[in-house]
Structure 1
Amino acid sequence: MLTASLLSATVISAPVMALNIVLTNDDSWDTQNIQIMKSALIDAGHSVIMSAPCTGQSGKGGAMTFLKPVSVDETKAAQQEFCVGDTDTSVAFADYAEGTPVMAVLYGIDVAAQRLWGQAPDLVISGPNEGNNLGFMNNNSGTLGATMIALSRGIPAIAVSANENTAHDADQSERVAHTVVEVVAKLASSRPSGSPLLPAYTGLNINTPEEMVNNLGYKFTDVGWNGGGIEFKFSDDLSGDAVLIGYMVQKLMAGGMDQATAKATAQTAMQGKQGLSFSMGDAGDTNANSEGNAVKAGYITISTIDGNVQAARAKVSLTEQRLLGLN
């Protein structure tokens, strides 16, 4: 395990190596996390293009809208900030085109980066997400969807996911952004001359714990299956979902509502409503080195990922043996 203090000391002693970075997310361009992340990267000397969805696109995975024209908001082009996707909900469904994380990052890579740098970025950073993306949940994550499409282009990419408290706690957001800047600096200072930041088609999935002030340092982890202690289910009455109600209460309290009123409001709003819900569970994965367990314990986790859905060779061989004889 590499402690946070050791990594910090290494980074501080290393020269700044400016990179061209496309920054995206799945929570929209108008969020605290992405704005603070952009500022931190620029302060560290990097050139940054923000290309994100115009509206919240959490849980969209690798979704994309195609065979339709897509709106791009370039009103903040002078600040190298762009958002992708329609925002006028009065548009007919057949014509409405959402800007998913995959589409947003591709705009950054294929259009904005070419205009500004004349080439692909050195790095794509997706996040920080308002909520952790761990284990099996990575399959559904828009944060990871944008990361994977960048990896498919051979561009090094880092997915960053933080606790939900970063949606309204600027101090936590600042600490997460500083963590990412440290990791990027370490990658840049340690790479061989002329080499990319990471091996081809390889990325990182970084998750930060609830309390960054007292985090236990960096831990290199496996993705595993544990989604951080939660699993999906479909509920016929969302008012009984403790995780969902807790999330809504947190949002309402961030808007100034007291806790008791926020809880009553959330439960009334969800009473009798059906929809996707959460239950508590570890997906059968209690391995301390799985990122879902490690981030819950208080570590900043770093898992190495790639854009290939190929199973490990040992699993392939076992499966192929069972299928022998198929015509």
Structure 2
Amino acid sequence: MRILITNDDGIFAEGIYVLAKTLQSVGEVIVAAPNTERSATGHAITIHHPLRVDKVKFFDTSIEAYSINGTPADCVKLAAEALLKDRKPDIVISGINNGPNLGTDVIYSGTVSAAVEAAIMDISSIAVSMGSTDITQYEDAAQFICKIAEEIFHHQDLKDTIVNINYPTCSKKELKGVKVTTLGVRKYENSFIERKDPRGNSYFWISGTVMDLEQNQTSDIIALQNNYISITPIHFDLTHFKTFEKIKQWNFEV
């Protein structure tokens, strides 16, 4: 099994290091990741300036690794279609992210978008994130991903599905198990802090606090709150099928 690993925290983040090193036990590992943190970039791709690639020494390993001045989606596209064009990966794994990617936040997530790009390219994919930023270790999550990677490798009919995993940061004793979940709803009370540059022009910092919303009991948010590993199958087809037939009945006379 050939495994391409990326992230949005940057190629020298601890999460991607632990993940890549651990996954060597189940397959050939190649890393292609952003040269700097690219969190919350969503599915952006770079078209207005060239992508530059540097082959780098990946920590204390001999893993083949590429540092790219682009987004997570760029990294997957460039690696799969150019850098590894004669060695197409069997699976793309994005992470381990420093913090959760739950509910509607997956739309903004660079971590999840890298996995979505793989699915668009007909490559099996996993996005994996820690349940909070209060992280003491990534090893347990990485070991779990080894098992999931092998499952996906043996289920090739899942190539168009992104497996989004959020792993609790609780101790192993407090871990309750695994739940297959739906996407919950994440909304924020946003604040925009206005400041002035030396020329007197305004600029803004955006920040937000997660709102406490009622969730479906099958949601990834509820599972994580109760110390379950959340596994949510997601897809890039955003068609709203419940409304599809209704809109077909509208008056479209032109």
- What TM-score, normalized to structure 1? 0.69
RMSD: 2.2
**Which letter maps to 2:166?**
N
Q: Which residue of the partner structure matches residue 106 of structure 1?
A: 77
* C-alpha separation in 2, matches of 1:310 and 1:119: 33
**Which letter maps to 1:224?**
G
Q: Secondary structure of 2:158's match?
A: coil
Spell out the pairing of 1:218-237 with structure 2 (5 A cutoff). 218-225=178-185, 227=186, 231=188, 233-236=190-193
Question: Offset of 1:274 from its aligned partner?
Answer: 4.3
Question: Offset of 1:108 from its aligned partner?
Answer: 2.0
**Which letter maps to 1:315?**
T
Question: Offset of 1:177 from its aligned partner?
Answer: 0.4
Q: Which residue of the partner structure matches residue 34 of structure 1?
A: 16
Q: Deviations over 1:183-232 (max 9, x none)?
A: 122334x53xxxx2x4241120101112142211110001132x3xx525
Q: Deviations over 1:48-107 (max 9, x none)?
A: 11000000000000112214222111133863111101xxxxxxxxxxxxx111111222
Question: Offset of 1:145 from its aligned partner?
Answer: 1.2
Q: Which residue of the partner structure matches residue 41 of structure 2?
A: 60
* C-alpha separation in 2, matches of 1:209 and 1:75: 31
* C-alpha separation in 1, matches of 2:193 and 2:248: 40
**Which letter maps to 1:278?**
G
* C-alpha separation in 2, matches of 1:66 and 1:212: 43
Normalized per residue, the structure richer in helix is: 1
Contact 2:56/2:67 (CA < 8 Å) preserved in 1?
Answer: no
Contact 1:62/1:146 (CA < 8 Å) preserved in 2?
Answer: yes
Q: Which residue of the partner structure matches residue 242 of structure 2?
A: 314
- CA distance 1:69–1:215, change in 2 (3 Å): same
Question: Offset of 1:237 from its aligned partner?
Answer: 7.2
Q: Deviations over 1:146-187 (max 9, x none)?
A: 111111111111111112133xx2xx2001101111212233
Across the two proteins, how many residue pairs are aligned to each other?
242
Normalized per residue, the structure richer in strand is: 2
* C-alpha separation in 1, matches of 2:175 and 2:80: 34
Contact 2:26/2:146 (CA < 8 Å) preserved in 1?
Answer: no
Spell out the pairing of 1:54-93 with structure 2 (5 A cutoff). 54-76=35-57, 79-85=63-69
**Which letter maps to 1:101?**
P
Spell out the pairing of 1:151-190 with structure 2 (5 A cutoff). 151-162=119-130, 163-166=132-135, 169=136, 172-188=137-153
Spell out the pairing of 1:103-252 with structure 2 (5 A cutoff). 103-114=74-85, 118-162=86-130, 163-166=132-135, 169=136, 172-188=137-153, 191=155, 196=156, 198-213=157-172, 214-225=174-185, 227=186, 231=188, 233-236=190-193
* C-alpha separation in 2, matches of 1:65 and 1:232: 30
1:286 to 215, 221, 233: 215
Runs of 4+ in 1 over 4 A off after TM superposition: none
- CA distance 1:187–1:153, change in 2 (3 Å): closer
Stretches of structure 2 lacking an aligned partner (at least 5 in a row): 196-202
* C-alpha separation in 1, matches of 2:10 and 2:210: 28
* C-alpha separation in 2, matches of 1:315 and 1:33: 40
**Which letter maps to 1:299?**
Y
**Which letter maps to 2:235?**
D
Q: Which residue of the partner structure matches residue 10 of structure 1?
A: none
Give the structure with higher Rg (CA). Answer: 1
Contact 2:129/2:167 (CA < 8 Å) preserved in 1?
Answer: yes
2:205 to 275, 293, 303: 275
* C-alpha separation in 2, matches of 1:155 and 1:147: 9
* C-alpha separation in 2, matches of 1:235 and 1:35: 34
**Which letter maps to 2:183?**
V
